[in-house]
Structure 1
Amino acid sequence: MLGSTLYATTLLIASTLLPQMQGAMSATQDEIAWVMTFNILTTAVVTPMTGWMVARFGRRNVMVWSLFAFSVMTLLCGAAESLEMLVLWRILQGGLGAPVIPLSQTILLDSFPKRQAGMVTSIFGMAVVIGPVIGPTVGSLLSELYSWRWAFYMVVPVGLACFIGLRLTLPKDAPTGRTALDWTGFLSLSLAIACVQLMLSRGQRLDWFESEEVVVEALVAALAFYVFIAHSLTSQAPFLNLRLLLDRNYALGLVLVAIYGMLNFTPMVLLPPLLQQHAGFPDSIIGEVIAARGVGASIGFFLAIFIGKVDPRIGLIGGFGVQVLSGLWLMSLDLNVDVATLMANSMLQGIAVGVIWVPLTLATFATIEARYLAEGTAVYHLLRNIGSSFFISLCVAEIVRATGTNYGRMVEMVSPFNEALSLPWVMGGWTMDSTAGLARIAKEINRQAAMIGYLNAFGLYTLASALAVPAILFVAGKARARNA
């Protein structure tokens, strides 16, 4: 539990530190973005290797030493003196720590009887969901009081304590004997994931398919994914066993967890820059808004303990339904929003996240054999991470596109030839008589154009929530899953 919380804490911790790190490293906005992009990429690439690593080295060794290496890399992230070294340590931090979360879930599910799976999954979900709330909240506070480095340093002592605890208590186990890594499957999947993420991260800046780089990344991703699918279906021992997708609940669970990943982190990434840059909120208030999501998630997981005892589809429909309501609420906000409204909406999102996690996990793994659990959970968390990173990239691209488009349209109206602007009750305190007056108008137009972009992103968030509901209707009920 503690290891999962620590790893989840660092997933989004850099999002609040990017402005400080950019200044400290004398980097451009594009350059500092690699600090997050490469960490997400490496996590996505290494997570599917968890099943092979457990088979090769044993569950205990992989869990213990992954956590130790993750703690050391986190220390080096805080001590980095150049952008190149910071990106390198973030790559190693994501890659070496990637097995921690899927292995934590596997160990917990194996350690308790099946009748307690709902309670265990609920408690584990708190680590996965509340960790990314703790990271930006406490990290931004420490960076404000000291420097961005302390946001990384705070993780290290807890990580080492967790390493010692696991080293002393985790039962020893022997490798299962399957030691050959399917390099064709691994490399093709890794290349496909990396190219798609790069395409989404850089597409808006490079004008999408007008750029040769984006075209090449799209073609390579499509070819690599084709090779991965063809090889996995014909190989005797594939990197990932695609035959698990014949299990209906597992296949639908992967679709739903990808949507869950889209919805989980997106508001926490989008709201801070909106509130800080355009609404004028201080960092401390933004931290309170994010913390309210953690409170809501705790309530949601508590409710999920009881909801998990009934048909999982009830909890899933209820949770995604609450997500739709929170999305519609976000779409009605403007730049004059008050803190109480933001905290209430954030808490509502947290409740939905907590309610969804337990029935989703129970329904997904209800009919999976224990020997496939490590591999199954690795793919499960891989799609959660991919859904999150891809959707965040799409939302950011839409915000940038809509801001530029709407700014261009609105500034056309600011002209001495616009008769409406000559009316005193239209202009109010704005003026076009000086450069300073025009600058103030331009700043306000940029704020409003950006708000339209954010509302479009919240619309995508709401649409994704609604699209999950039809898929839930095909999930097998509790009795059928037990008998399958």
Structure 2
Amino acid sequence: MAAPVTSRPALEVANRGWLTGAIMLATIMQVLDTTIANVALPHMAASLGASQGEITWVLTSYIVAAAIMTPMSGWIVDRMGRKRVFIGAIAGFVASSMLCGLAQGIGDMVLWRIMQGIFGAVIAPMAQSVIMDINPREKLGQAMAIYGAGIMVGPIIGPTLGGWLTESFDWRWVFFINLPVGGLALVGIAFFMPHGMTRARRFDIFGFAMLALAVGGLQLLLDRGEAVDWFESPEIWIYLGLTISGFWVFVIHALTAGEPFIDLRIFRDRNFVMGNVFMFVIGLTLFSGLALLPPLLQNLMGYPVITTGIVMAPRGIGTMLSMVVVGRLVDRLGPRLLVFAGLSLSCVSLWMMTGFETGMDDRLVILSGVVQGFGMGFVFVPLTTLAFATLSPALRGDGTSVFSLVRNMGSGIGISLVTTVLTRMLGVNHAELASRLPLDSPQVAMQFPALLSGDPAMAAVADGLVSQQAAMLAYIDNFLMMMVLTLVAFPIVLLLRNPSTDAPAPRAMAEH
């Protein structure tokens, strides 16, 4: 029986392995920079003479610039060709990283971080598109497992690597580390990636401006909300207004324009739409949880940065191992069963994390991390495979940019949600625990007689203990909330379809 046309990749390359390695180097470099600078902020502030409020713009500027530019990657690739854009994006990212490391003031740093975000925004979606194009359809699951390993592991090791570089060398090496990595990726792309086809495509400047307004407003709202007490501040209402109005005008314009900024044909693919909906939910629940563990381990349990990284490393190992396994199973079992298994493992891990306490050892942290890592791998690979299994290669540029944007928006909203819940529940739990320790209580007088002496030092110790327990309870409240939200996601699994039931015609798969 003749092999189906769909078994041929959309882009034939001579050295698929070397090209994949170069692409993943670039992807990991870009993803790392979303978190690697976090732990270096205090050192940057002291060196650059920036206030606490000013130094946070080192993170905000990068995130907002990347969010705005991500949807544009599809148009840029179609217009200029993937090889030119990839080389330009990596070169620009590396140059911006070097300039960040050489910055002498907060203004310089924010400017170069914006440039980093602009160039870096193109790398991840384009990497996903190229990896899909150079692999035949039957190996799409394995290809997405390789891509997913870089996307998922990068944020886990980022803070640890940043902390080690800052403590062992200098905070500037957080940015200088990109030079050798980016250089290797640049050489690999230049040698092994063929020049792709280009097509004339008008730039919808109005559509891009409206989408940029909506995405930028949403990112600023999420990033600044907790700092200014959310909707108690007029600043947040302004961001909300910009987000709603920008998105509304963009949708109306996209439906009526002759050649909109994003090709709306991608939304005719049911698998792509459902994959994006589910990825948003997963970003909201599972990805956001990664932001909770480093501060819990470092601030509450007193772990050094390096120890935190060692304890969290099994989570990344579990993710990579599960992606290798799932990459081989997704085409045999279909996405629904694997996603169901991944959600189940994630719920088990979150339930285990509700058993955290201040005096525990690191075994429970490691075990729950391995289980959650496996769960995330079982979810990410099938969803990514599903979303693009029946999407024409000609639409993958726009598809990967939208998919990356949806994933980032989901995790951004989730991180803001868990941060807000953590802050609010810390106050609630502190008040509740303090109310259970009245000074006139016989039990308090018996167990803590020094408290009744009026010694300020003893009062401070007691308040510290109450604050510590209140913080741990606040983290547990977050883990419970994420477990409930993950359980709510189970019915969505029923809406997923196996790609084989919606397989595209051979002609659609062969177009390029």
CA contact (8 A) 1:46 1:98 kept: yes
Q: Are 1:207 and 2:229 an aligned pair? A: yes
1:378 — aligned with what?
401
Q: 2:419 aligns with which of 396, 407, 421?
A: 396
CA contact (8 A) 2:87 2:190 kept: yes
How far apart, in 2, do the equivalents of 1:428 and 1:351 lie? Answer: 49
Task: Give the letter aligned to residue 236 of structure 1.
Answer: G
1:453 — aligned with what?
474
2:444 — aligned with what?
421
Displacement of 1:105 in angstroms is: 1.3
Displacement of 1:26 in angstroms is: 4.1
Q: 2:464 aligns with which of 407, 420, 443?
A: 443
2:327 — aligned with what?
305
Displacement of 1:430 in angstroms is: 5.7
Correspondence list, 1:76-475, <5 A: 76-178=99-201, 180-263=202-285, 265-308=287-330, 309-422=332-445, 424-425=446-447, 427=448, 433-475=454-496
Displacement of 1:168 in angstroms is: 2.1
How far apart, in 1, do the equivalents of 2:463 and 2:48 lie? Answer: 30
Deviation per residue, 1:448-478 (Å, 9 max, x gap): 2222222222223223322322111111124
Distance change in 2, residues 1:396/1:156 (3 Å):
same
Distance change in 2, residues 1:320/1:282 (3 Å):
same
2:35 — aligned with what?
12
Deviation per residue, 1:138-187 (Å, 9 max, x gap): 22112111222212212211101211221122111342111x22122211
Q: Are 1:21 and 2:34 an aligned pair? A: no
Identity, in percent, stands at: 32
- TM-score scaled by length of structure 1: 0.94
Q: 1:73 aligns with which of 66, 78, 96?
A: 96
Displacement of 1:305 in angstroms is: 2.2
Task: Give the letter aligned to residue 93 of structure 2.
Answer: F
Distance change in 2, residues 1:444/1:29 (3 Å):
farther
Return 5+ residue gaps in structure 1 as ranges.
none
Task: Give the letter aligned to residue 349 of structure 1.
Answer: Q
Displacement of 1:418 in angstroms is: 4.2
Partner of 2:489: helix, strand, or coil?
A: helix
Displacement of 1:431 in angstroms is: 5.8
CA contact (8 A) 1:43 1:94 kept: yes
Partner of 1:11: helix, strand, or coil?
A: coil
Partner of 1:322: helix, strand, or coil?
A: helix
Q: 2:501 aligns with which of 463, 472, 480?
A: 480
Displacement of 1:66 in angstroms is: 0.2
Distance change in 2, residues 1:479/1:31 (3 Å):
same
Distance change in 2, residues 1:393/1:105 (3 Å):
same
Task: Give the letter aligned to residue 224 of structure 1.
Answer: G
Q: How many residues align?
A: 481
Partner of 1:13: helix, strand, or coil?
A: coil
How far apart, in 2, do the equivalents of 1:400 and 1:346 lie? Answer: 23
Return 5+ residue gaps in structure 2 as ranges.
1-23, 506-512
How far apart, in 2, do the equivalents of 1:453 and 1:186 lie? Answer: 40
CA contact (8 A) 1:9 1:131 kept: yes
How far apart, in 2, do the equivalents of 1:395 and 1:428 lie? Answer: 38
Distance change in 2, residues 1:11/1:205 (3 Å):
closer
How far apart, in 2, do the equivalents of 1:279 and 1:238 lie? Answer: 51
Partner of 1:102: helix, strand, or coil?
A: helix
Distance change in 2, residues 1:428/1:340 (3 Å):
farther
